[in-house]
Amino acid sequence: MTLGTGHTDAVFGALADPTRRRLLSAISDHPATATELAGGVPISRQAVVKHLSALAEAGLLERERAGREVRYRVTPAPLSDAVTWIAQVGAQWDTRLASLAHTLEARQSQPT
């Protein structure tokens, strides 16, 4: 797969965890450092850093230096737009192909 499924899998993998979704949602409100984010969730700063790395590796977050810390922000629109498109159009094809397979299976069992 060139750009499609592998990347989408990485994104969905990163978003499968509820803590990560919560962190991503907090960061989408305003960019934040791991220390700032750790104040709002019941896990250690180290655990927060680990989740943030997974989100960054999936391309959902960008890192920027903030003094001695790293501040995370949500990746600007183009990538999110691509991810959304790939997820939506991919899901439409999954549905279409399942219905095509179903139609053909039905035909095979009842030849016209």
Partner 1 sequence: MTDQIERELVLPAPPEQVWEVITGPGWLADDLRLDLVPGGDADFGDRTGWVEESEAPERLVFWWGEDGEPATRVELTLQPQGDDRTRLRVVESRPLEVLDVTGIPLPGSGGSSYGPAMVAVA
Compute the distance between CA of residue 81 and CA of residue 111 in angstroms, rounded to an integer.
44
Cα–Cα distance, 7 to 13 (Å, whole number): 10
Give the shortest CB-83-to-partner 1 separation in angstroms: 9
Tell me which amino acid residue 36 is: E
Q: Which is nearer to partner 1, 26 or 86 (CB)?
A: 86
107 binds partner 1 (CB under 8 A): yes
Residue list 20-79, contact with partner 1 (CB under 8 A):
78
**How many residues bind to partner 1 according to rule CB under 8 A?**
23
Q: Which of 25, 43, 89, 110 binds partner 1 (CB under 8 A)?
A: 89
- CB 85 → partner 1: shortest distance, Å? 6
Give the residue from 52, 1, 63, 64 showing the smallest Cα distance to 26.
52
CB 86 within 8 A of CB 2: no
Contact in structure between 59 and 75 (CB atoms under 8 Å)? yes
Q: Which of 89, 17, 7 is nearest to 47 (CA)?
A: 17
Least Å distance between CB 19 and partner 1? 29
- What residues make contact with partner 1 under the rule CB under 8 A? 1-5, 78, 82, 85-86, 89-90, 93-94, 96-97, 99-101, 103-105, 107-108
